Amino acid sequence: MTGLVIFDNDGVLVDSERLANTILAELLTEAGLPYTFDEAVRDFMGGSMKSMREKTEAQLGRPLPADLEDRYHQRLFDGFADLQAIEGVEDVLDWLDAAGTPYCLASSGTHRRIRTALTAVGFWDRFEGRIFSAEDVAHGKPAPDLFLHAAATMGVVPGNCVVVEDSPLGVAAANAAGMTVFGYAAMTDPAKLAGADQVFSKMATLTELIANA
């Protein structure tokens, strides 16, 4: 029985991954570490900015510019003016509300990024008070900390939680937390989500997956 559905944010609720990884690739290239969009998706999608900095500084052998995160978020938030919700996800949220199934959000993004994105697509009221960020825990995805923190705060045991993720890091984190995980493969190669209990590409099928979890 599903006691809680935990949604990732970027790429699952809001269609922000293409914009975010384009900006990140540009900034890393400007900093002297050439990156393409596909490489940014491969290496960083689903992770925190803290983990991105650690990985890239190890590659560079020197610190990234101190203001890189600020410039990243400024460009990102400017782009959020045109942000859209993932097609079909509002119907999923309506279905969960009608069924009385609790849900929340657990993202590698900062609280400011999450709030800005949800406000842009009109989802803030649906998630306010049930938002968990990598800023809240010691270790972000792929560690299980964020999902375990969300479940504990919501009062649901991990085994009764379903996680909806679109990144290999998120799938790994949900597995480590002992939760059922459904991998959304709209933008991600399904093979990279092979660790998920189910992989799906159309939001319309998610309600059936949750109902049968």
Q: In whole numbers, what is the pLDDT of the chain averaged over residues?
A: 95
Kindly state the DSSP code that residue 138 receives in the 8-state scheme: S
How does residue 131 score in pLDDT terms, banded at 50, 70 and 90?
Answer: very high
pLDDT at residue number 1: 66
How does residue 4 score in pLDDT terms, banded at 50, 70 and 90?
Answer: very high
> What's the distance, Cα to Cα, between the start and end of the chain in Å?
7
Are 180 and 213 in contact by the 8 Å Cβ rule? The answer is yes
* Predicted confidence (pLDDT) at residue 85 exceeds the cutoff of 80: yes
How do beta strands 103-107 and 161-165 pair? unpaired
Tokens of 179: 């939760």
Provide mean pLDDT across the span 87-112.
Answer: 97
* Predicted confidence (pLDDT) at residue 126 exceeds the cutoff of 70: yes
pTM of the model: 0.89
